[in-house]
A = this chain, B = another copy of it.
């Protein structure tokens, strides 16, 4: 059961991405859209606000809503998108190699990052992402076993993200992302095709569930020349 405003939001996105609604043109006014979809103005406005937030349109008072053409490519790396979704969108052949998969007792660093006690058990997953035959990304994931009782190599090779949302039914609420650049470690050099690079782009991700519990800590370590982060931001008051 999907809400009306989400349905309309998705329908308009489809129209924009398929080119049925051209970019830089005006969208129908809120009044027209009300009639078109037989809903109240507030429902239309919810859909349009979502479109605006996510960079599809820009509303201008007194004039109308205009379709932006920024979203053509290079948008996906933002937000919470996973590696699998990403590589599928870009359409580059890529693969995931699981290097380590085990249950561990957290050390001090992990206890702090994952907000767990020394008696909790934690899944540790280390994966290498290969893009076009080069080992480019080293992913280190840590989950509290409380939330994820079972984890297999197959799941890790596919998408842990999908498993969590679809199979376990856990709903992800929000995430904090931190990007820095560091000296490459021995581990980086061991697992990745670093060529002559001695630095690594580190993306730390703290992922929280809907009920605000910290659920996962992830470190994604990228070869600097292959790293790109794109973000869309609106002025927030």
**A227 contacts chain B at the CB level, 8 A cutoff:** yes
Question: Is A199 in contact with B212, judged by CB distance below 8 angstroms?
Answer: no
**A233 contacts chain B at the CB level, 8 A cutoff:** yes
**A225 contacts chain B at the CB level, 8 A cutoff:** yes
B interface footprint on A199-235 (CB within 8 Å = 1, 0 otherwise): 1010000001011100000000000110111111111
Most B CB within 10 A of own CB, among A79, A199, A210, A235 = A235
B interface footprint on A69-100 (CB within 8 Å = 1, 0 otherwise): 01000100011100000000000000000000
Cα separation A228 to B235 with both chains bound (whole Å): 20
* Number of this chain's copies in the complex: 2
**A68 contacts chain B at the CB level, 8 A cutoff:** yes
- Nearest-neighbor residue (CB-CB) of A69 within chain B: B212
Contacts A54-B236, A58-B212 hold; do A230 and B178 have CB atoms under 8 A apart? yes
Selected from B181, B232, B236, B237, the residue in CB contact (under 8 A) with A176 is B232
